[in-house]
Structure 1
Amino acid sequence: MPLLVLFGLAMLYIGWALSAPWRQRRRRERWAARPFPAAWRTVLRRRVPMFARLPPDLQLQLKRHMQVFLAEKAFIGCGGLRVTDEMRVVIAAQACLLLLNRAPDPFPTLRQILVYPGAFVVDRVRTEAGAVQREERQVLSGESWSQGQVVLSWQDTLAGAAIADDGRNVVIHEFAHQLDQEKGYASGAPYLDSARDYARWSRVLAAEYARLQQRGPGEPGLLSDYAATDPAEFFAVATEVFFEQGELLAQESPALYGELSRFYRVDPASWDGRRPVAPLAAPPAPGAGVF
């Protein structure tokens, strides 16, 4: 093959590769611009009461994000489950809450959502004192993997969607982990805009995390005891509460609410048309950051 032809083919390939982001953006724009199916609107009304709480502009945004999400992500039924459009829409609606007021780039490292009929069992190897390894079996409602997969229980997904203000939502929880894991591991600190943002995030969340760990077992509070497991779980649990009990979180932990509001670019405390929340308190003084 003549050298000139090889050079031309190489340049065509380079041009095609360099145009990949542009082509992806155009595809997403076309998906987002499609009419939202009437059957999907029915599912939102019946199964996702959180949708009705959103202001009209955010409802429109959510539907557009959902259309891109559903076009790009693969859903796989497990344990004999056949995935239906209703399942896909309910999961996408809750996951895409985390993408509001952002460019349509839905969870770039995520490839698949695995759905079980109910809670599923996983085997884990736990390292104890003295480097002793012990196998243990856990029953889970959801799990997020840094390799590009989220695993969900459909029963728990439905239950989490049905009550929009209890601060418990397995889809929001696991997709918060996905945002945290975009860098390859979960630490409780997702990608932020600047070093200054990271410093403030670390101060605020470390202080709130320490306060939670000092709370006695079973002592009442918005964040569950599970949030004290590690910084990654703290971020995921706090995200559930932020979206479902925003006004209460803003009152109880205004600095934490402020950080989550800046990161997620939404103000759930205002979604129910209540009076605006009090001004956000200043972040706590610098301390030992664990996020």
Structure 2
Amino acid sequence: MANFLARLISGNRRERALRKHAIDHTLWQNTLDRLPFFGHLDDAERARLRECTTLFIAEKEFSTAHDLTLTDAMIVAIAVQACLPVLNLSLELYRGWVGVIVYPGEFVIRKTVEDEAGVVHEIEHDASGEAWEGGPVVLSWEDAQMTGGVDAYNVVIHEFAHKIDMLNGEADGHPPLFRRWHAPLDSNAWNNVFDHAYDHFCAQVDAVPARRWGRFERDSLIDPYAADHPSEFFAVCSEALFVQPVAFEQEYPELYRLLARYYRQDPAGVGALDSPGQH
């Protein structure tokens, strides 16, 4: 009886949230029209995405900085992109925090870091997005609108991939694997593919002569920034999976299949989920 009542209360809360935060149909359609990488979803998947987006908006608190006016269009655009990676997983992957802070453009991040010699440095740099462990996601609205699909860039997907990666501790490019969604994929299988791909990419970046760096940066599907850390490689490749899936699968087929199995989506439509234990 207790379990039944808990499910009933949870169901009632869900229905109230869906009614209270219902997304206007025209706004929803206009948002999807501006985001071409949602084209692989069928009608049923889009309906689930709309519900997921609505619940995300109900659960999170959006705010702005530097006098930026927060609009429904901004909220829906960010929320729908955040929900795409968890569409076939669960919003539970975004549990434990509530804030989404939107800046007009790039913002300054100040950090304290310790080098290999144990010396502590205060550093600052410009950023288009930041995900804090246990805290908010911070985004540049200017960058969040760079979603034309001409390259693999998507700051929203990038930062929310970090949030997923942080579920089992500090972001390290090895996100949690859940038996109910990911079996038979396990940590050994993940490490074999992901770590090899990361090492290979870093070697590629290191081998680029300085005189050719600009061209490499322009032509590389994966932003060279991904070589900074395994967590950045995971986030940048997550962008590529959803925004440029065909090119990503052609250039990195094994890595594409790994991430497709993780997110339980095959946006390139190559049958990446057609293996035992994948549904």
What range describes the TM-score normalised by the shorter chain of this pair?
0.7 to 0.9
CA contact (8 A) 1:43 1:90 kept: no
Q: How far off is 1:207 after superposition?
A: 0.4
- 1:71-111 deviation per Cα after TM superposition (whole angstroms, max 9, x unaligned): 11000111222211111011001101111123453611231
Q: How far off is 1:21 after superposition?
A: 6.6
- Decide which of 140, 148, 151 is 2:135's aligned counterpart: 148
- Counterpart residue number, 1:41: 28
User: Greater shift after overlay, 189-198 or 30-39?
Assistant: 30-39
Q: How far off is 1:41 after superposition?
A: 1.9
* Secondary structure of the structure 2 residue equivalent to 1:131: coil
* Secondary structure of the structure 2 residue equivalent to 1:79: coil
The amino acid that maps onto 2:194 is L
Structure 1: distance between partners of 2:150 and 2:124: 31
- Counterpart residue number, 1:122: 109
TM-score, L = length of structure 1: 0.80
CA contact (8 A) 1:43 1:89 kept: no
Matched, 1:198 2:187: yes
Change (3 A) 1:221 1:22: farther
* Secondary structure of the structure 2 residue equivalent to 1:139: strand
CA contact (8 A) 1:77 1:114 kept: yes
- Counterpart residue number, 1:27: 13
The amino acid that maps onto 1:190 is P
Change (3 A) 1:101 1:196: closer
Matched, 1:87 2:74: yes
Percent identity of equivalent pairs: 36
- Counterpart residue number, 1:250: 249
- Counterpart residue number, 1:172: 157
Structure 2: distance between partners of 1:129 and 1:188: 21
Q: How far off is 1:278 after superposition?
A: 8.7
- Decide which of 111, 123, 126 is 1:136's aligned counterpart: 123
Q: How far off is 1:251 after superposition?
A: 1.7
Q: How far off is 1:263 after superposition?
A: 0.9
CA contact (8 A) 2:27 2:73 kept: yes
Q: How far off is 1:149 after superposition?
A: 0.8
Change (3 A) 1:21 1:118: farther
The amino acid that maps onto 1:180 is D
Matched, 1:212 2:212: no
- Counterpart residue number, 1:62: 49
> Which structure 2 segments of 5+ residues have no match?
none
User: Greater shift after overlay, 66-75 or 30-39?
Assistant: 30-39
Structure 2: distance between partners of 1:146 and 1:91: 19
Structure 2: distance between partners of 1:179 and 1:173: 10
The amino acid that maps onto 1:224 is D
Change (3 A) 1:239 1:211: same
- Counterpart residue number, 1:184: 169
- 1:195-240 deviation per Cα after TM superposition (whole angstroms, max 9, x unaligned): 8511101110000001001103444532111111111111001100
Alpha-carbon RMSD across the aligned residues, in angstroms, is 2.7
Q: How far off is 1:32 after superposition?
A: 4.4
* Secondary structure of the structure 2 residue equivalent to 1:268: coil
> Which structure 1 segments of 5+ residues have no match?
1-14, 271-275, 282-291
CA contact (8 A) 2:68 2:104 kept: yes
CA contact (8 A) 1:65 1:106 kept: no
CA contact (8 A) 1:166 1:245 kept: yes
Change (3 A) 1:259 1:29: farther
1:250-269 → structure 2 map (5 Å cutoff) = 250-269=249-268
Q: How far off is 1:130 after superposition?
A: 2.3
- 1:14-53 deviation per Cα after TM superposition (whole angstroms, max 9, x unaligned): x79x966763344224544786422422441453233344
Change (3 A) 1:198 1:94: same
* Secondary structure of the structure 2 residue equivalent to 1:115: strand
